[in-house]
A = this chain, B = another copy of it.
Amino acid sequence: MTTPDQLLQALQTEIEQNNYGDQPAELYEPIRYIMSLSGKRLRPLMTLMAAALYTDDWQKALKPAHAVEVFHNFTLMHDDIMDCAPLRRGQPTVHEKWNANIAILSGDVMLVRAYDLLLDVEGNHIKRVLTRFNDTAAAVCEGQQLDMNFETRWDVTEAEYLNMIRLKTSVLLGFALELGGIVAGADKEATTLLYQAGVSMGIGFQLKDDLLDVYGDPARFGKQVGGDIIANKKTFLLIEALERAKGLTRKQLDDWLDEKDFDKEEKVKTVTDIYDSLKIRTFTEQKITEHFDQGFDCLERLKVDPTRKKPLLSFVHQLVEREN
């Protein structure tokens, strides 16, 4: 049985062996740079693990998995421009280290390179893989646009928020799993379940991100607890609070959202108290569990030998239980 560590090692080698292109250096160096700020390689690992459910020759999923990681980093490069983000994984973003034009153009080439890597799948899978990838890529852009639209709106509903995170982050996790299945020759029922598992898990992960930003253990969370509250970020918790808060509570919440000059600690404490009074924490935890359960249910329903399924299940369990 191949372990997740072996898959990750093979993936890192696959990524390091590709230089994406040579000249002009301004175009390709930023791609190598952002790809080297290695995150957790969550998405391509999902592709490899899904492939390993159905074949011992999971190596044939390496380039498609790499494509998913390149695409993900392309979206980060362009999103960072749009969000004026100075840092990515603790390092300067591409538009800061170089400039916005280079970040636009390097990102464009990354998207092309993702398609290049996808073309490595067997001929009889190309059209299906690319059709699904196109749908996913367009959905991710739609999610990013909705996220930007939400910045200036104060009446975003829970349903709208869930739809936004489904598009912006979850469909790519769904596609990552589905892709592994397709490449490994899984049947339609299986690839549909893999996709649904990824989407449900993805929504769960994003809601958990939102939750940990407020209720995470400061010793384990890794970044400042309350950052989203300080920045008025429209998270699931804030949207729920805006939907539920009435009368004086709503006025108090609105005042904190409007206040430009505030003590950060005081704002975090007060808004957290408001969330508590509205039972936002329990409700969010329920929603998270709901989505994770849906995801696990899909994975359970895969007709795969249980010992074969174990690595993927325990990998996903680890992700579900993380506190940072």
Chain A interface (Cβ within 8 Å of chain B)? Answer: 21, 23-24, 26-27, 78, 81-82, 101-102, 104-105, 107-109, 111-113, 115-116, 119, 123, 126-127, 130-131, 134, 137-138, 141-142, 144-146, 148-149
- Among A102, A131, A134, the one with the most B-chain Cβ atoms within 10 Å of its Cβ is A134
User: Is B126 in contact with A112, judged by CB distance below 8 angstroms?
Assistant: no
Q: Are B119 and A130 in contact (CB under 8 A)?
A: yes
Bound state CA distance, A137 and B119, in angstroms? 15
- Copies of this protein in the assembly total 2
Complex CA distance for A80 and B273, rounded to whole angstroms: 48
Q: Is A137 touching B112 in the complex (CB atoms < 8 A)?
A: yes
A215 → chain B closest CB, angstroms: 31
Q: Can you pick out 17 interface pairs between chain A and chain B where the beta carbons lie within 8 Å of each other?
A: A23-B142, A24-B146, A27-B145, A82-B104, A101-B148, A105-B141, A105-B144, A108-B108, A108-B111, A109-B138, A109-B141, A112-B138, A116-B131, A119-B130, A119-B134, A126-B130, A130-B130
A171 to chain B, nearest CB (A): 13
Q: How far is the CB of A114 from chain B (nearest CB, A)?
A: 10
Least Cβ–Cβ distance between A117 and chain B, in angstroms: 10
